[in-house]
Amino acid sequence: MDEPRIALENVSKSFGSRRVLSGVNLRVPAGCLYGLIGPGAAGKSVLLKLITGLIRPDAGKIIVDSRDLFAMSELELQAFRLKFGMLFQNNALFDYLTVGENIAFPLRRTSNASNEEIEARVMERLKVVSLPGFEGRMPSGLSGGQKKRVGVARATITRAEIVLYDEPAAGLDPVTSQRIFELLRAEQRAANATVIMVSSDLDRLLTVTDRVGMLYRGELIFDGTTAEAKTCEDARVKQFVHGLTEGPL
């Protein structure tokens, strides 16, 4: 594997008496679209928050671009987070801001771009996600699929080098879901970004990933190419990837 852009070294995390992650070792190379899969409550969303430095591990290291996140000062970590874009599972749109204002929000926080430059970028992002002319609408008037696409536009407007997606197609119909995955893949390739994507929609997720990791009861039990995931003989991986009803899960 190429030199990793993101590496987790023996990472563990608990909340009270509940162990969420246990000794996870993970390497994601630069320019990779990495799919993170596993049953509910396996620790997938927690892992994304660890990678962005939003929560701290109980043990182990998280290395991004050869830097240990938790060896930084809080100010250094805040600045370092500008490398990241993130789409949250619930979209996390501000209901009191228009679509355009939502998309522009991270750019206004992280750049010195002029209003004209920001407006141009917002229009460009809306065109990419097939929502031209939506800048003045409010989130309450959007469908679920439209909200997802606005979230994608916001997550990518800063042209972040690393982007994390948490269930980007949850609750969408199959056609809209496939379009979302194809859009995210196209965006990843255009920016040569390093992407980690959590999704329960395996049929569509596995059409766009380069590599896949599976979390099971807080442990990373599989890490390999998408082709290797599809042919893995581990009963837990095989059952989950192929949707089998009988097995250890």
**Count of domains observed in the chain:** 1
DSSP collapsed to 3 states, 75-109? HHHHHHHHHEEEECCCCCCCCCCCHHHHHHHHHHH
Residue linked to tokens 């959590």: 198
Rg of the chain's alpha carbons, rounded to an integer? Answer: 18
Over the stretch 212-242, which tens digit does the pLDDT of each residue have?
Answer: 999 999 999 999 999 999 999 999 999 999 8
What residue numbers bound the domain in which 29 lies?
Answer: 4-242
Residue ranges, the chain, pLDDT below 50: none
The pLDDT score that the predictor gives to residue 1 is: 61
Residue 57 belongs to some domain of the structure: yes
pTM score of the predicted model: 0.89
CATH number of the domain to which 155 belongs = 3.40.50.300
Residue 247 belongs to some domain of the structure: no
The pLDDT score that the predictor gives to residue 25 is: 97
Over the stretch 20-48, which tens digit does the pLDDT of each residue have?
Answer: 999 999 999 999 999 999 988 889 999 99
DSSP collapsed to 3 states, 20-39? EEEEEEEEEECCCEEEEECC
